[in-house]
Amino acid sequence: MKVLLFTGLGALLFAYYWDDNFDPTRLRGARVLLTGASAGVGEELAYHYARLGSHLVLTAPTEALLQKVVGNCRKLGAPKVFYIAADMASSEAPEHVVQFALDKLGGLDYLVLNHMGSTPAGMRVRSAQTTRWLMQVNFLSYVQLTSRALPSLTDSKGSLVVVSSLLGRVPASFSIPYSAAKFALDGFFGSLRRELDVQDVNVAVTLGVSRARTAPGPQAALAVIRGGATRASGVFYPWRLHLLCLLRGWLPRPPAWFVRQDLNVSAAAAA
Ligand SMILES: NC(=O)c1ccc[n+]([C@@H]2O[C@H](COP(=O)([O-])OP(=O)(O)OC[C@H]3O[C@@H](n4cnc5c(N)ncnc54)[C@H](OP(=O)(O)O)[C@@H]3O)[C@@H](O)[C@H]2O)c1
């Protein structure tokens, strides 16, 4: 009986997380604007899309890094790759970047929002000035890019793919501005998804959640791409984060001594 129960539960989880009808050939020729493409998860996303034959516009602030990624994408078989260097701390940059992508690709099927500015001096930053800057880079620029790209995505029945974090679902210590921006993304894109449904607009909104403090790597990037291509509303990498997010309301707050031990700090150092 127990074996049957576990097998059934396993099959259900497998069906939920893996049987997603992902058809990689549908990404061939797809027009993708990808942010934060010069490093980390964004670089891995760029390489996957390149292998799958998508047409790419890549953006990030550092031109030299973008040029390297563009070169690698070409070697991997991307038929068209363009780049535009832009710093999303500037309120004009999002408009400019989307316009560039529309001019180069003639429209968009995917807007993949992944870039992230980090706070200086570790994560113990509570000042309004730093939070304002980070909100522009990690949240408001996402809103601006989305609102500028939405008409084209509506025409193409395209997808918005947003790379978020566990810290946008579960609060954590010493990450206030980062976490605030990620929670804001969850609110904005969750509400946008509902509005688009009500308006009968066929644009998918996928939010990817992965864990902080572990380099997510190529598998996480592939999970995000699968989620976007199958129009899933959420992607959790690793999958067990989904359970953590679902249980969040019932989980007790971790005791301070546990957090200090986890972060390897004393109470005095944390103050
Ligand atoms: N790595 C993790 O453990 C982890 C865990 C959970 C979630 N995530 C999420 O995954 C996404 C990517 O994270 P990552 O770890 O790959 O980051 P990363 O390696 O630090 O790369 C950040 C990317 O964002 C760009 N960027 C930095 N400042 C920017 C600005 N002001 N304007 C525009 N672009 C800017 C960087 O460009 P330059 O190279 O030019 O600076 C780079 O391309 C983020 O949304 C993050 O929240 C990551």
Hey, which of 59, 72, 100, 115 would you mutate to test ligand 1's pocket, going by the most ligand atoms within 8 Å of its Cβ? 115
**Would the CB of 42 count as within 6 Å of ligand 1?**
yes
3-state helix, strand, coil split of the chain in percent (to 5) is 55, 15, 30
Ligand 1 center to 60 CA (angstroms): 9
How far is Cα 131 from Cα 195, in angstroms, rounded to an integer?
28
pLDDT in tens, the chain (271 residues): 666 666 665 555 555 555 568 999 999 999 999 999 999 999 999 999 999 999 999 999 999 999 999 999 999 999 999 999 999 999 999 999 999 999 999 999 999 999 999 876 454 677 888 899 999 999 999 999 999 999 999 999 999 999 999 989 988 888 889 999 999 999 999 999 999 999 999 999 999 988 765 566 888 999 999 999 999 999 998 888 888 888 887 887 888 887 788 777 777 666 6
The pLDDT assigned to 50 comes to: 98
- The domain segmentation of the chain, as residue ranges, is 21-270
Confidence (pLDDT) at 120: 62
Ligand 1 contact, 123 CB (< 6 A): no
**Does 212 contact ligand 1 (Cβ within 6 A)?**
yes
* Ligand 1 pocket residue status of 95, Cβ below 6 Å: no
The predicted structure's pLDDT at residue 151: 98
The correct CATH number of 21-270 out of 2.102.10.10, 3.30.420.40, 3.30.300.10, 3.40.50.720 is: 3.40.50.720
165 lines ligand 1 (CB under 6 A): yes
Residue nearest to atom 15 of ligand 1 (CA): 40
| 47, 49, 142, 178: the active-site residue | 178
Does residue 205 contact residue 193 with C-beta atoms inside 8 Å? yes
- pLDDT for the residue 253: 82
Q: From the CA of 42, how far away is ligand 1's center (Å)?
A: 7
73 vs 225: CA distance, rounded Å: 16
How far is it, in rounded angstroms, from Cα 190 to Cα 176? 21
User: What's the gap in Å between 9 CA and the centre of ligand 1?
Assistant: 36
Ligand 1 proximity of 210 Cβ (cutoff 6 Å): yes
Verify whether residue 49 is a known catalytic residue.
Answer: no
Q: What is the Cα–Cα distance from 197 to 56, expressed in whole angstroms?
A: 27
Beta-bridge partner residues of 85: 60
93 neighbors 87 (Cβ within 8 angstroms): yes
